[in-house]
Chain A
């Protein structure tokens, strides 16, 4: 048996049910129902009455519209209260509006099925459920407690008599204690149906207020979309940084080297000319370093020529000679796909240069019409551990966001094959040279 029951129903099957907190949780849950039920009833009645009356002068229509959304806050509170008797967390079935603002929020809520389930729950809760809950607690817990306290009631009674449950008149202590004993037997006996009813009540709440399968899938799709948006934003930021460096620092440095070059021509031979020469060379080196840096952030060739040009470029930069086979050239693909694929290939080629001991590598890339498929192979010693390279893990994550996969096979002795596949449609059918 599970040592930590998740609901009163589970707890009931437990031998230690009566000694656990579960009977009191069940009682608390049912008794607390009135705390939310009474305000809900008041608000519903007031809104409906005011809305119906005032709708004659049109002012009431917004109030009636508000009534439609009344279930949303009630459900939020009730889902929280549910934790008292249901340890399984319940998330919201609602989606997050794509745009900010109250109007967008309300529009989305009106379109969601969950909103109407919540309204149904609120009406049911306000009109019926909290009464039932109170009645259950009063009967199953209040009655035995009343019996149990009969002697006390007698002691406190001014006229020396107590009418227990309005049925039996008790005037002396022996019967009073007999009734109290009956209450003591009744109390643990009734705690079982109390737990069962609280469990039923929790199940009803969950059925109406927890997200349905379809809603969960919608929420998951939303998370996936927001992850993809993040990657796009990240990519746009890279391009912005690249552009800023290109238009700013790089331009100024070129102008500086030009000025220094002219100054060198003008300077008479001597220590000044030597120092100018040193400065000129340094500026040239900074310029070369900056160029590499900018290329690493986002290669312009990727923007201008797409993957076809960028992969050829990556192959040329590789320390190990690389054969590229791009078929008849790749079509232009979404920017995020091109960037993810390009950086994955660059990382793979860098790893081959650093660790593989390979003499040659090969990159093949094809677009099958529905997916981009790339393989990077080398003739090195193999035994590459994908888990060891944090660079590849990051790239695998980036490709996973695009619903793609990245896999490495590297038996000892080689060959090592990195393959990636990203499903993507073609934006423009023309392929660049």
Chain B
């Protein structure tokens, strides 16, 4: 069967979602694929307590939840990362909104964060990939948000060729060079070359820093 144990790694997860139906569904989904949900909570305050108690590998949280029924979940996530910059956080949102993604990516050093539309939960494998990517320190930004950003046609993106934008878009979604190559049906070397060009055009000189890919995505988001 296609998706029974796609991920060898078993993660310790703290989940925050105020909708009971969805929360139970997510717990079922994550446990079914071999992860452990240490705590599933319904508001931002409980989320803070659960993280302090369980030291999870990754936090998955909704944006809008009690007590304020505003962007409490997102603010809790940003706070948690301010206290522990390497804490991986995947935020699920009902909105395609750059402001939310930018707030999140600005927290910590920009690695180990994800901003996904809730719709992605339905695309089970894509969602599980995102959880694992974020837990591993990667960055995942929802394709819808990336698409909206690509439409902005503003500097510094104006300097990029259409193909380079496409590559950067896929990188922003958290894909590896190999995955990008498969998606675009080109060689991995070609992808590497594109990424080199992108980093050059975005004025991100070659360095030891492995987060240059993340910085490129951030350059996008801050536009």
B92: nearest chain-A partner, CB-CB: A254
- Residues on the B chain within 8 Å of A227, using CB: none
B182 is an interface residue with CB less than 8 A from chain A:
no
Q: Which segment, of B21-29, B133-141, B208-216, faces chain A?
A: B21-29
Tell me if B98 and A316 are in contact (CB < 8 A): yes
Q: Bound state CA distance, A321 and B151, in angstroms?
A: 8
B119 adjacent to A257 (CB under 8 Å):
yes
Please name the residue on chain B nearest to A283 by beta carbon: B122
Query: B94-108 toward A: CB 8 Å interface, digit per residue (1/0)?
Result: 111111100100000
Closest 8 CB pairs of A and B: A257-B122, A251-B19, A265-B3, A261-B124, A309-B99, A304-B71, A261-B122, A255-B21
B122 close to A247 (CB less than 8 A) = no
Across-interface contacts of A309 in B (CB, < 8 A): 97, 99
8 contacts between A and B (CB under 8 A): A243-B69, A255-B25, A257-B121, A265-B124, A288-B119, A291-B95, A300-B64, A313-B98
Within 8 A of B (CB), among A209-243: 243
Q: Cβ of B161 < 8 Å from any Cβ of A? A: no
Nearest residue (CB) in A for B2 is A265
Assess whether B154 is in contact with A284, with CB atoms less than 8 Å apart: no
Give the complex CA separation of A398 and B195 in angstroms: 49
Chain A CB within 10 A, most for which of B98, B100, B119: B119
A254 to B124 alpha-carbon distance, docked (Å): 12
Question: By the criterion CB–CB under 8 Å, are A246 and B94 in contact?
Answer: yes
Interface size bucket, A side?
35 or more
Q: Does A250 contact B (CB under 8 A)?
A: yes
In whole angstroms, how far apart are the Cα atoms of A53 and B141 in the complex? 85
Q: Are A246 and B1 in contact (CB under 8 A)?
A: no
B82, chain A: closest CB distance, angstroms? 14
Determine if B153 and A321 form an interchain contact, defined as CB atoms under 8 angstroms apart.
yes
Are B25 and A259 in contact (CB-based, < 8 A)?
Answer: yes
Q: How far is the CA of A331 from the CA of B99 in the complex (A)?
A: 16
Which chain B residues numbered 116 to 133 have a C-beta less than 8 Å away from chain A? 117-119, 121-125
Q: How far is the CB of B15 from chain A (nearest CB, A)?
A: 13
Would A265 and B22 count as touching, CB distance under 8 A?
no
**Complex CA distance for A323 and B29, rounded to whole angstroms:** 43
Interface residues as binary, B1-22 with A (CB distance below 8 Å gives 1, 0 otherwise): 1110000000000000001011
Render B35-73 as a binary contact track against A, CB cut-off 8 A, 1 for contact.
Answer: 000000000000000000000000000001000011100
**Contact residues, A277-329 vs B (CB, 8 A):** 280, 283-284, 287-288, 291, 294-295, 299-301, 303-305, 309, 312-313, 316-317, 321
Partner pick for A254 among B1, B3, B99, B122, CB 8 A cutoff: B122
By beta carbon, the residue of chain A nearest B93 is: A300
Structural contact, A321 and B154, CB atoms closer than 8 A:
yes
Q: Decide if A185 is an interface residue (CB 8 Å cutoff).
A: no
Residues of B within 8 A of A312 (CB): 98-99
Most buried by B among A250, A251, A260, A295: A251
Q: Which residues of B contact A (CB under 8 A)?
A: 1-3, 19, 21-22, 25-26, 29, 32, 64, 69-71, 94-100, 103, 117-119, 121-125, 148-149, 151-154
Q: Is the CB of A247 within 8 A of B119?
A: no
Tell me how far the C-beta of B79 lies from the nearest C-beta in chain A, rounded to whole angstroms: 15
Q: Does A433 contact B (CB under 8 A)?
A: yes
Q: Indicate whether A275 reaches chain B with its CB closer than 8 angstroms.
A: no
Instruction: Note all chain A residues with C-beta closer than 8 A to B153.
Output: 321
Name the residue of chain B whose CB is nearest to the CB of A309.
B99
What are the residues of chain A within 8 A of B125 when measuring CB–CB? 265
Per the bound structure, the CA–CA distance linking A294 and B27 in Å amounts to: 27
**B1 and A252 contacting across the interface, CB-CB below 8 Å:** no
Chain A positions within 8 Å of B117 at CB level: 291
Contact between B22 and A304, CB atoms less than 8 A apart = no
A262 within 8 A of partner (CB): yes
With A283-B122, A321-B153 already in contact, the answer to whether A258 and B29 are too (CB < 8 A) is yes
CB distance from B105 to the nearest CB of A (A): 12
* CB of A3 within 8 Å of the partner chain: no
Specify which chain A residues have a CB less than 8 angstroms from the CB of B64 in the assembled complex. 246, 300
Q: A266: which B residues are within 8 A, CB to CB?
A: 1
Tell me if A258 and B122 are in contact (CB < 8 A). yes
Q: Do the beta carbons of B148 and A316 come within 8 Å of each other? A: yes
A417 to B44, CA, bound (A): 44
> Besides the contacts A261-B122, A317-B148, what 16 more A-B pairs have beta carbons closer than 8 Å?
A243-B69, A251-B19, A255-B25, A258-B121, A258-B124, A262-B29, A280-B122, A284-B122, A294-B94, A299-B95, A300-B95, A300-B97, A301-B95, A312-B98, A316-B149, A433-B99
The CA of A280 and the CA of B1, in the complex, are separated in Å by 18
Chain B min CB distance to A296 (Å):
12
What is the bound-complex CA distance between A295 and B96, given in angstroms? 10
Q: How far is the CA of A321 from the CA of B26 in the complex (A)?
A: 38
B149 neighbours in A (Cβ, 8 Å):
316
Q: How far is the CB of B81 from chain A (nearest CB, A)?
A: 15
From the candidates A246, A259, A261, name the one contacting B123 in the complex (CB within 8 A): A261
Instruction: State in angstroms the CA–CA spacing of A398 and B19 once bound together.
Output: 35
Q: How far is the CB of B186 from chain A (nearest CB, A)?
A: 27
**Contact between chains at A252 and B21 (CB < 8 Å):** yes
A251 touches B22 (CB 8 A): yes
A132 to B98, CA, bound (A): 80
Known: A291-B94, A316-B98, A321-B154. A258 touches B25 (CB 8 A): yes
Q: In the complex, which residues 22-46 of chain A have their Cβ closer than 8 Å to any Cβ of chain B?
A: none
B64 to chain A, nearest CB (A): 7
